[in-house]
Amino acid sequence: MQEASLLKHLTLAVMRGQIRASQDPHRPGWHLAPCVGLLNDPNGFIYHAGYYHLFYQWNPLDCRHGSKYWGHWRSTDLVHWEHQPVALVPSEAYESHGCYSGSAVIADDLITLIYTGNVKYPDGSRTAFQCLAQENDRGEFDKLGPVLPLPAGYTGHVRDPKVWQHHGQWYMVLGAQDLQLQGKVLLLRSDDLHQWQNLGEIAGSNLGGLGPFGYMWECPDLFRLAEQDILIFCPQGIPAETERYRNTFQAGYLLGQLDYTDASFSHQDFHELDAGFEFYAPQTTAAADGRRLLFGWMGIPDEDELYQPTVAYGWIHTMTCPRELSLQGDRLIQQPARELTALRREQRQWQGRAQDAPHFPISSAEMIIDVSVPFTLELGHKLMLEWDGARITLSRNNLRTGLREFRYWRGQLHQLQLLCDRCSIEIFINQGEAVMTSSYFPAEPAQAIFNGSAELCLQHWLLSSPMLE
C-alpha cells in the first residue's frame, strides 16, 4: 500500500484511540508503551549525538500482531522520552507484511537502520529481505531498499539483523531457520553495509555442542563485555522443564569467544536471561560511557496476549526498564540503569517482622528488601512471591485459563529490588544475579503485603511518572 495511505490510517488510529488508551488505569507511569495498538520488540537502540534512540515494533492499527511499523522515541537520559516521526511504514513490496525487527548503526554520522522486510505469499510461504534506511535532516528515515535476499539453505524465516563495527568492517548476526527446521545464527560481513558476504553459522540447534535447541532463533545480538563475546538470542521450540524454559519462547545467552577470521564461536552453556512470565527479544547498545545497556519487550508472542485487560483500552505491551549489563564469572548480571534513580520521590525505610510490615503502595514504586529467611509477598492481589529458603516461586492466575501458573528461581537470596508500575513488575534478585520480569494487572489499591516472621529491612520509594511527550 502507498505510504501516504498507511500514514492516514495510522493517524486515524491514533486520533480515535489515544484518549481511550490514556484512560486505562493500567497505563504505565514510567515504562514505554505504544500510544495505541501493539508494541513488541525494541529495535535500533543506539546512542548518538547526545541522544538515546529507541525504535520499536509497532502495530498501530490493532492489538494483534500484524504488519509492523517502526515507532521511534529519543531521550537524553533514559528517563524522559519524546516521540519522533514514525520511522518505517510497510509500504514497499519487499516489506509488504511488515518492517520487522533490526538494529541501528552510525554511518557517515547518520543513523542507519538495518531491518527485515517481511513478505508473505497467499500459499502461506514467506520470504525476507534485509533492508537499509537512512536518517535525513527532518528526522525521518529514507529507505535505501533491500541489501540481502534470503540466503540459500534457509526457509523464509531469516530475520532481525543486528549490525556492529569491528576493525573497520561491518558485521551482522541474523536469526535463521535452516531447511532441516533448526534455529541458527548467521554471521555476515560487509565493507559498506550494502554488499554482504555470508561467513556461515556461528551457533545454532545441533551446532557447537548444543544438541537440539529449537526450530527458529530470533533476535540475535552479539557484543563484547569484559573480554567475552556474548550472543543473546531467542530460541523457539525449547521444551519446558520443571523450573526453567517455562515461557512459550525463551530469551537467553551464550558466553564465548568469536573468531572473526574463521567465523566460529566457541561457547559455554545456554542461560536464560529472565525467570519471570514476560520477557523477550532484548536488544543492547553501548552507552556514551561504555556501559552495555539493554531493553527487552515485556511480552511473549503467545496465545495469552489478547486476554490482557489493556486490550479493552486499545493498546498492549510495554518495554522493560532500561538495564545495564555486567559480567560476574560466567554469568550476565542485569541491573536497572542507574539513571532510573532520578524517578525516586518520597523515601520510607522500615525494619521488622514481615507480617508486621505496613502495606506499601506499589502502583509506581521501587522497593529494596534485604532478607534471607523465608517470607511471602503478595503484589496487587494478583501476583504471589514466595521465598522458601531454597527457591523463589512467582505465581499468578493465567488470564486465559484461570489456572495458577508458576515461575521459579533457585539460589541463595540476600536482596530483592522491585521496580513496580501499573502493569508490570521487575524483580532483581541479589543485585541482578537473576531477574523475574512480568506484566500483571494489580487490583486497586495496588499494595505489597508481606507475610511470615522473617526479619526484613526495606526501603521504599514512590516513583514519578515522567510524561512521554
Q: Which is nearer to ligand FRU, 117 or 256 (CB)?
A: 117
Taking residues 13 to 52 in sequence order and writing x for each that binds ligand FRU by CB under 6 A, - otherwise, the string is: ---------------------------xx-----------
Considering the complex, what minimum distance in angstroms separates the CB of residue 58 from ligand FRU?
Answer: 9
Comparing CB distances to ligand FRU, the nearer of 73 and 280 is 280
- Residues comprising the chain, all counted: 469
Residue 281 binding ligand FRU, by CB under 6 A: yes
41 counts as catalytic: yes
- Give the type of residue at 294: L
Report yes or no: 55 and 293 within 8 Å, Cβ to Cβ: no
Q: Which of 26, 31, 72, 159 binds ligand FRU (CB under 6 A)?
A: 159
**Parallel/antiparallel/unpaired status of strands 228-236 and 197-204:** unpaired
Query: Per rule CB under 6 A, is residue 218 in the interface with ligand FRU?
Result: yes
Rounded to a whole number of angstroms, the minimum distance from the CB of residue 209 to ligand FRU is 25
Nearest to 419 by CA among 405, 429, 411: 429
- Identify which of residues 92 and 366 has a Cβ nearer to ligand FRU in the complex: 92
Supply the minimum distance, in Å, between the C-beta of residue 398 and ligand FRU. Answer: 20
Question: How would you classify the pairing of strands 154-166 and 415-421?
Answer: unpaired
Residue 116 binds ligand FRU, judged by CB under 6 A: yes
Rule CB under 6 A: say whether 57 interacts with ligand FRU.
yes
Closest separation between CB of residue 13 and ligand FRU, Å?
Answer: 17
Cα gap 19→420, rounded to integer Å: 24
CB of 129 to ligand FRU, least distance (A): 12
Cell of 78: 533514559
40 vs 437, which CB is nearer to ligand FRU? 40
Shortest Cβ 65–ligand FRU spacing (Å): 6
Binding mask 394-433 for ligand FRU (x = CB under 6 A): ----------------------------------------
Pairing mode, strands 344-353 and 37-48: unpaired
CB of 301 to ligand FRU, least distance (A): 5
Report the C-alpha gap between 301 and 303 in whole angstroms: 7
CA-nearest of 137, 142, 45 to 87 is 142
Nearer to ligand FRU, 283 or 310 (CB): 283
Q: How far from each other are the two terminal CA atoms of the chain, in whole angstroms?
A: 29
Is residue 184 within the footprint of ligand FRU (CB under 6 A)? Answer: no
Interface mask (CB under 6 A) for ligand FRU, residues 298-327, using x and -? ---x--------------------------
CA distances from 335 to 231, 313, 344 (A): 19, 31, 16
Number of amino acids touching ligand FRU (CB under 6 A): 14
For ligand FRU, the closer of residues 82 and 302 by Cβ is 302
Q: Which of 41, 178, 221, 229 is catalytic?
A: 41
x/- mask, ligand FRU, residues 67-86, rule CB under 6 A, reads -x------------------
Q: Footprint of ligand FRU on this chain (CB under 6 A)?
A: 40-41, 57, 68, 100-101, 116, 159-160, 218-219, 280-281, 301
Question: Which residues have a catalytic role annotated?
Answer: 41
